Structure 1
Amino acid sequence: MEYLHIEHGGRTIRGVLHLPEGAEAAPAVALCHGFGGNRAEFGYSFVRLAERLAANGTAAYRFDFAGCGDSDGDFADLTVSDQVAQAVAVLDGLAGHPAVDGERLSLMGMSLGGLTAQLAAAQRPVASLALWAPAAGAVAMSEEGAKRRADAIAERGYDDFGGLPVLQSFVDDAKGIDAFADAAAYTGPVLLAVGTEDFVLKDDLLERYQDLYGDRLDLQIFDAVGHGFETVPARERLVEITTAFLTRTA
């Protein structure tokens, strides 16, 4: 494992690169964490995933988005478009690493990181795409949800989402993004994992993912867990199937 930092928009994006032992030009996967998270992700799942990928011959880069973890920036400045631009910069940075095969890059993301990954995959040649409970609803909110957020911002200047602020700049940026049309240029294989109790990726959005990716989609349903795959068996299965998918398709 080595530290790898990438410059983007006057900020340093900080992360760690897990490399297969003895590999000269390994395929690589960039791991995009969720809203308010960091490069370890819930239950250290990104650490475990990266270690298993490296053990199976695929490099994995865990990084903190700007304003998160150890990276530069202010979390209040978060927008989806900025995160997508950061993910693209990460792919470009990985492509130039001497131990990475720049022609074999993949993306993986959790929640808002999943939305980020699916949008970034449409902007660069990506071998494969793995999504854990992608948060398309962040840019495709229901009328009720959008009104609640607008009212909160009007009252306080921000929407309090899990103890972190969502500002008007996030809302304005989201209006210009179509989670599905803007992701359509990606034509490779997709793994999508979701729990049956997920409050973020509901059935209507899941159907849109199925329509978008068609027979390229490997859909994995996890019974009786929510957005964070909150049981030991669920998280073990999640890491296992994602490792197998990315090792096979990267």
Structure 2
Amino acid sequence: MRVPEWRLMELLDIEHRGRVLRGALHTPQTTPAPAVVLCHGFGGNRAEFGYAFVRLAERLARRGIAAYRFDFAGCGDSDGEFADLTVSDQVEQAVAVLDAVGAHPAVDPARVSLMGMSLGGLTASLAAVRRPVRALALWAPAAAAAAMGEEGAARRAAAIEANGYDDFGGLPVYRAFAEDAAAIDPFADAAGHTGPVQLVVGSNDFVLPPDLIEEYRRLYGDRLDLHVIDEVGHGFETVPAREHLLDLTEAFLAKHV
């Protein structure tokens, strides 16, 4: 049976500091093509919630755009330990992935973009300063991971001191992550990207409250394409919201990559 051209996919492993990052590259029939690297959220994997990254990658391939979705070290099928996860390390991984994807024969190296969900969004915004990317798409970026208030930071530090980790919705946040994040300014450290940016967030998102959205407005100015989806939280938890999310991001990337 013939595989539709928009479902062409190859497993692509990328080495980073002695670890194998495992991922999947979706390619259109016509190459070399523009490409988008997809960065998943904290404790997630390359499929993302509701297989959103799989669906987005297939949509992009239909549009003639390659998409690479991968597991960060310590997540999914990639090498590494989850306890070693830090934002800075994820940024380094994303930069290595950008380089590897840009060098792939199916990809136009001058037309590579980044997108990310939650912690992957924060990671993507910081990696976009390290390598020139055409466009940046952010789903509910977890700026709060590196911009915790004093009360939240004190609570997290106390939990780590008592238990060895802070329990974040059933996932452990270890000392290495907390100490690394405290040294990052999610806005000043992301100020070097000069291309278009899309930011999509749920109106009830506790991870990205209005004050942090305003910081992104100030950071990106008139280059920011902001969308707030009503009545959903951090994971865009309804079928219509997720369909709208995919529609918005597909259109944005198709326009700017």
TM-score by length of 2: 0.96
**CA-to-aligned-CA distance 1:117-142 (integer Å, 9 cap, x gap):** 00000000100000000000000001
Alignment correspondent of 1:187: 194
**Is residue 109 of structure 2 the alignment partner of residue 102 of structure 1?**
yes
Query: In the alignment, which of 16, 19, 36 is matched to residue 11 of structure 1?
Result: 19
Say yes or no: does 1:125 pair with 2:132: yes
Match of 2:95 in 1: 88
Pick one of 194, 205, 225 that aligns with 2:232: 225
Deviation at 1:175, TM superposition (A): 2.0
The one-letter code matched in structure 1 to 2:157 is: A
Q: Which moved more, 1:155-164 or 1:132-141?
A: 155-164
2:149 aligned residue: 142
Distance 2:53 2:202 in 1: 18
Partner Cα separation in structure 2 for residue 227 and residue 186 of structure 1? 24
Deviation at 1:176, TM superposition (A): 1.7
Describe the superposition over 1:135-189 as per-residue Cα deviations: whole angstroms up to 9, x where unpaired: 0000000112111101100101111112221111111111221100110000100
Structure 1 residue aligned with 2:181: 174
Distance in 2, Cα, partners of 1:73 & 1:41: 19
**Structure 1: which 4+ aligned runs deviate by more than 2 Å?**
none
Q: CA deviation at 1:219?
A: 0.2
Q: What secondary structure is seen at the aligned counterpart in 2 of 1:219?
A: strand
CA RMSD of aligned residues (A): 0.6
Alignment match of 1:203 (pick from 206, 210, 225): 210
Question: 158-167 or 218-227, which moves further after superposition?
Answer: 158-167
Paired amino acid for 1:39: R
**Structure 2: gaps spanning 5 or more residues:** 1-8
Percent identical: 71
- Which residue matches 1:52? 59
Structure 2 counterpart SS, 1:204? helix
User: What TM-score results when the alignment is normalised by the length of structure 1?
Assistant: 0.99
Deviation at 1:249, TM superposition (A): 0.5
Structure 2: which amino acid aligns with 1:3?
A: L
Q: What amino acid does structure 1 have at the position aligned with 2:49?
A: F
Q: How far, CA to CA, are the matches of 1:71 and 1:240 in structure 2?
A: 29
Within-5 A mapping of 1:15-54: 15-21=23-29, 23-54=30-61
User: Counterparts of 1:176 and 1:160 in 2: how far apart (Å)?
Assistant: 21
May I ask how many residue pairs the two structures share in their alignment? 249
Judge which range, 161-170 or 131-140, deviates more: 161-170
Q: Which segment drifts farther, 144-153 or 162-171?
A: 162-171
